[in-house]
Amino acid sequence: MLADKTTTHAITLTPAAAQAVRSLMEEKNLESYALRVFVSGGGCSGLQYGLALEDKIRDLDLSEEFDGVKVVVDEISIDYLRGATIDYVDDVTGSGFKIENPNPVTSCGCGCSSESENELDGSSGCGCSCCG
């Protein structure tokens, strides 16, 4: 499914993900909102991904549009997300957004936490709430 995507230099949002976001925004009547993609500290591998529907776009946010969905990333998170692909998966194991990130050196088995090369500290093991 990831082969069917729209590509930019910063991040990628697949058509399936764009459709899922549009459906959520229509369902919740959020006309002028954007999909915010970010990383935050936490998880078992150092960083965890986050997605939110938001109407506050900051001056320093990177903003791109994919199939009618505005995607924003803050100036710190883009360093960790550059080249990432956001997809929406709906199969027998469940449905939800999935982020494929080419940047982490290690990642958690659940896929919601990662550690980049400049954060690698040699710790191991999974203790996050996603898969633990």
Q: Decide if pLDDT at 91 tops 70.
A: yes
Handedness of CA 71, 33, 130, 88 (dihedral sign): negative
53: nearest Cα among 76, 8, 78, 20: 20
Average of per-residue pLDDT across 63-76: 94
Express each pLDDT in 22-46 by its tens digit: 999 999 999 899 999 999 887 666 7
Cα angle 55-21-4, degrees, rounded to a multiple of 5: 130
Q: Decide if pLDDT at 107 tops 70.
A: no
Name the more confident of 1 and 38: 38
Q: All domains of the chain, ordered by start, with CATH?
A: 11-119 (2.60.300.12)
Mean of all residue pLDDT scores within the chain = 78
- In the structure, what pLDDT confidence band is assigned to residue 127 with cuts at 50, 70 and 90? very low
Express each pLDDT in 7-25 by its tens digit: 445 899 999 999 999 999 9
What percent of the chain is modeled with pLDDT above 90? 57
- In the structure, what pLDDT confidence band is assigned to residue 120 with cuts at 50, 70 and 90? very low
pLDDT for the residue numbered 10: 85
Tell me the β-bridge partners of 41: 47
The pTM for the full model equals: 0.71
41: nearest Cα among 121, 114, 131, 125: 114
DSSP secondary-structure letter at 6? B
pLDDT for the residue numbered 29: 96
CA torsion 66→41→107→82, rounded to 10°? 30
